[in-house]
Amino acid sequence: MAPYQRVKQYLKSGLEHGRWKPGSLMPSESDLVAQFGVSRMTVSRALRELQNEGLVERVQGVGTFAAQLHKLSATLSIRDMREHVESRGLRYRMDMQLLREEAAPPLVAQRFGIQPGAPVFHSLAVHFEDGVPLQCEDRWVHPAAAPHYLSNDFSASTPTQYLLEVAPTWEASYTIEAAMPSRQEARLLKIDASEPCLVITRSTVSRGIAVTLVRLVHPGSRYLLEGRFSP
Amino acid sequence: MAPYQRVKQYLKSGLEHGRWKPGSLMPSESDLVAQFGVSRMTVSRALRELQNEGLVERVQGVGTFAAQLHKLSATLSIRDMREHVESRGLRYRMDMQLLREEAAPPLVAQRFGIQPGAPVFHSLAVHFEDGVPLQCEDRWVHPAAAPHYLSNDFSASTPTQYLLEVAPTWEASYTIEAAMPSRQEARLLKIDASEPCLVITRSTVSRGIAVTLVRLVHPGSRYLLEGRFSP
DNA sequence: CAGTGGTCTAGACCACTGA
DNA sequence: CAGTGGTCTAGACCACTGA
């Protein structure tokens, strides 16, 4: 194991075993240099990585402290539906229900920074896994970000794949909630109108402008999100 | 701006503007050393950070490549309910409905690596925001991980806070789904039995042993998760 | 073989903190 | 003032890749 990893591992396992309580002072860089017989750059890297992982907090002129652990955040991967299905060896299909230009509704116009009623692209697709509907994707697209959205061949790529190609995602925010499907969504997903759904609403920014707003509706009985954190 | 940040910013904005397409070869460390007139350690740090952020992929002996952007993962913070409520300046309350030792059900026994029927701790609490029930917390605790769980004063700390104190979380996995509440949960949350709920199931490991399993049920109309990613 | 990334060293200068 | 972290340099040795 590389020296910086040895130092990092030593500190990590010490934190794990409660050798340093949250908020307490940890060894300084020069302490660790002496203890491990390595150069300061090496312990510095170990400490910086622990800081990036949220395990320690460092204050210039003061020292390094064991972090409060409940500030942890977890990773949740958001993948393209096609990849999600095919990566598990299942058959993927998408039905494009609607693909056209429309007048921007007020909410969409606001997020895109354009006038209400200005032309925007609107698509509605259903994603299937082995013939079972798994996701209903209701999407608005800013024409300036993807001018040829309407003429793309969506039998070859999903809206997510196409948009990632023409406008790489540089920031996105989303919400996850439980809600009832609309009547139309229930029909498209072939579920009862009273079945709870997992609804993800996502807004994506590329090169400073909003690219797309999307509402992803999943039948609660067929889809769940998984995640983990490991500090 | 520090030199390593200048290099990093240069590469980041180049990626953002499509100067290097996903999968294509990017400048080598020595290219960047020459271009910026800095030492190799400095460009190495810039590239390593971009790698950690998932923006580039590096292969020893080959080079650095622009990453495929759709492998992004997002951060989703999982916070203690009390902090969540109080951080927004609202009044927090918890009702502990049940707190006792029980015989481990098969599923719990399996996750804890103990015999079914062995003693485990079980608690059921409701968390309120300004008097409105926001979360129902059904929790199983491994007695070896928190032997004094049952005698803790839960008017002073939440189960999450207490467990983080006595057994720092070192790994957790969770699922997020939409589901109907149980009859009991609907009653405790004061919602209709047909209201969809956001259900988080979390399993936590500390020092190699399972500490706790918890089912968190939130009324869909009152609670949503927010997240963002920015590569 | 030349070129790549992975890592380390021994020193340096700096900004910042708190006694 | 001594001690802390933040960062950089100029060199080094290494493992790995592909021609």
- Is A168–B75 a contact, with Cβ atoms under 8 angstroms apart? no
Q: Which CATH number fits domain A3-71: 1.10.1040.50, 1.10.10.10, 1.25.40.10, 1.10.1060.10?
A: 1.10.10.10
Q: Which nucleotide is nearest to A25 (CA to C1')?
A: D4
How many CB atoms neighbour CB B150 within 10 A? 15
Beta carbons within 10 angstroms of residue A9's beta carbon: 12
Between B40-52 and B29-36, two packed helices, what is the crossing angle to 10 degrees? 120
pTM: 0.80
**Å between B30 CA and C5 C1'?**
10
Judge: B73–A71 Cβ closer than 8 Å, yes or no. Answer: no
CA–CA distance, B100 with B110 (Å, rounded to integer): 20
Domain coordinates in residue numbering, chain A: 3-71, 81-219
As its CATH architecture, domain B81-219 has: 3-Layer(aba) Sandwich (3.40)
Amino acid sitting at position B40: R
Backbone angles phi and psi of B2, in degrees to 5: -65, 150
Q: Which residue has the tokens 């080079």?
A: B63
Q: Tell if A33 CB is < 7 Å from nucleic strand C.
A: no
Per-residue pLDDT of chain B (231 residues; tens, 9 = 90+): 899 999 999 999 998 888 998 889 999 999 999 999 999 999 999 999 999 988 899 999 999 999 876 555 555 666 788 988 888 889 999 999 999 999 999 999 998 999 999 999 999 999 999 999 999 999 999 999 999 999 999 999 999 989 887 877 778 888 899 999 999 999 999 999 999 999 999 998 876 778 899 999 999 999 988 877 765
| C-beta neighbour count of B35 within 10 angstroms | 12
- For tokens 């997240």, name the residue: B227
Write out pLDDT tens, residues B130-146: 999 999 999 999 999 99
Q: How confident is the model at residue A174 (pLDDT cuts 50, 70, 90)?
A: confident
Q: Residue A222 — very low, low, confident or very high, per pLDDT cuts 50/70/90? A: very high
Tell me the shortest Cα–Cα distance from B2 to chain A, in angstroms: 16
**Helix/strand/coil (H, E, C) string of chain B?**
CCHHHHHHHHHHHHHHCCCCCCCCECCCHHHHHHHHCCCHHHHHHHHHHHHHCCCEEEECCCEEEECCHHHCEEEEECCCHHHHHHCCCCCEEEEEEEEEEEECCHHHHHHHCCCCCCEEEEEEEEEEECCEEEEEEEEEECCCCCCCHHHCCCCCCCHHHHHHHHCCCCEEEEEEEEECCCHHHHHHHCCCCCCCEEEEEEEEEECCEEEEEEEEEEECCCCCEEEEECC
Give yes or no for CB of B97 within 7 Å of strand C. no
Query: What b-and-e string marks burial along A114-145, b requiring 16 or more CB atoms within 10 Å of the CB?
Result: beeeeebbbbbbbbbbeeebbbbbbbbbbbeb
CB contact B164 to A (< 8 Å)? yes
Q: Is the pLDDT of residue A68 over 90?
A: no
Which residues fall within 8 angstroms of residue B173, CB to CB, at 6 or more apart? Answer: A226, A227, A228, B202, B203
Q: Is the CB of B60 under 7 A from strand C?
A: yes
Identical fold between A3-71 and A81-219: no
